[in-house]
């Protein structure tokens, strides 16, 4: 059962005034790695241009990276998408002192797979005066122009069906990101299958623990996100530690094994959290999915 998951994430960057030379500095915007769309989080980071580069492995759940190229009079804000699919980003300023942004912030940009773009230029008004700024970068996977088709999905496992929480469930399916989600009770280690063909967009499989402690474990679920041809995305969450059998960029067929079920993150028992989502403009929303198994279409009693 998921409350929120990998949707928009925010990174606040706190930097001093002008520096001596144009030195690049990378930082990473990640989801709180759990299933559906997550609440945005903000972290302040020292803007030391000598800071080590962030991990460039898209399998760590990274959504976007902000790179600042600085001179005494301006800073170029570049954003990189490490994923094999589109990511929408929004750059905003929490504080601008002695600095003018062009274009004015906030500004949004859609980055294609593995794309990179100059999002804004920050110009120092007076190089002799003090200046500083604090930036926030939000990132949401998917293309907001995508329009999902009325596709049919196969059950994401070959096992008896038991739904512990359906669409609109009060425990954790009462928000836009999870309104159409299904929680399937499954023994830990059950093979998880791709419900529809697509490309693996994100993988997180490094978390080890799960339980009903919402605040302690929310955002610590292992998951796989798969991008479909129509731009919709399927999320498979609460997988076991190191339970992913695929990596970002892999093409998968419907019915292919992609992972193993588990009980990581905010979860009261082993199960699979499955939901189909779209980017509705810097926010993820769920859409209904028609699931078909050996006995026909899955229909829930109300």
- The per-residue pLDDT for range 62-101, each reduced to its tens digit, is 789 999 999 989 999 999 999 999 999 999 999 999 999 9
DSSP string, 238-254: EEEEEEE---TT-EE-T
* pLDDT at site 180: 87
113-126 per-position pLDDT tens digit = 999 999 999 999 98
At residue 197 the predicted structure's pLDDT band, cuts being 50, 70 and 90, is very high
CA atoms within 13 A on the CB side of 133: 23
Coil, helix or strand at residue 60 = helix
d(C-alpha 17, C-alpha 75), whole Å: 10
CB count within 10 Å of CB 78 equals 16
Q: Is the pLDDT of residue 44 over 70?
A: no
- Burial of 244: CB neighbours in 10 Å, binned 0-12, 13-18, 19+: buried
Per-position b or e across 162-177, b if 16+ CB within 10 A of its CB: eebbebebeebbebeb
Catalogue all structural domains in the chain, each as residue range(s) with its CATH number.
Answer: 10-141 (2.60.40), 152-297 (2.70.70.10)
Per-position b or e across 4-43, b if 16+ CB within 10 A of its CB: bbbbbbbbbbebebbbeeeeebbbbbbbbbbbbbbbbeee
d(C-alpha 152, C-alpha 143), whole Å: 21
* pLDDT at site 29: 55
d(C-alpha 168, C-alpha 185), whole Å: 17
Q: What is the pTM of this model?
A: 0.81
227-240 per-position pLDDT tens digit = 999 999 999 999 99
Q: Nearest Cα to 108, choosing from 71, 69, 148, 140?
A: 140
């Amino acid at each position: 059962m998921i409350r929120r998951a990998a949707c928009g994430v925010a990174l606040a960057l706190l930097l001093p005034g002008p520096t001596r030379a144009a030195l690049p500095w990378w930082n990473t915007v990640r989801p709180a790695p759990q299933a559906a769309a997550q609440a945005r989080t903000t972290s302040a980071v020292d803007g030391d241009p000598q800071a080590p580069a962030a991990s460039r492995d898209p399998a760590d759940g990274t959504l976007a990276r902000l790179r600042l190229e600085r001179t005494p009079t301006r800073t170029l804000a570049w954003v990189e998408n490490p994923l094999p699919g589109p990511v929408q980003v929004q750059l905003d300023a929490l504080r601008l002192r002695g600095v003018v942004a062009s274009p004015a912030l906030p500004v949004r940009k859609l980055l294609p797979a593995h794309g990179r773009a100059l999002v804004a230029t920050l110009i120092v008004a007076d190089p002799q005066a003090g200046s500083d700024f604090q930036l926030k970068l939000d990132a949401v996977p998917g293309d907001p122009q995508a329009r999902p088709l009325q596709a049919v999905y196969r059950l994401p496992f070959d096992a008896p069906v038991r739904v512990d929480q359906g669409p609109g469930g009060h425990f954790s399916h009462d928000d836009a990101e999870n309104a159409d989600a299904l929680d399937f009770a499954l023994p830990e280690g059950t093979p998880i299958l791709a419900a529809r063909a697509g490309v693996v967009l994100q993988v997180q499989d490094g978390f080890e623990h799960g339980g009903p402690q919402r605040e302690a474990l929310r955002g610590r679920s292992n998951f796989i996100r798969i991008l479909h041809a129509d731009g919709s995305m399927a999320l498979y969450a609460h997988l076991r530690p190191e339970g992913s059998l695929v990596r970002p960029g892999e093409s998968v067929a419907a019915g292919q094994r992609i992972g193993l079920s588990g009980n990581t993150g905010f979860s009261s028992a082993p199960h699979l959290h499955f939901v189909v989502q779209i980017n509705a403009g810097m926010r993820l929303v769920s859409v209904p999915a028609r699931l078909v198994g050996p006995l026909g279409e899955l229909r829930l009693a109300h």
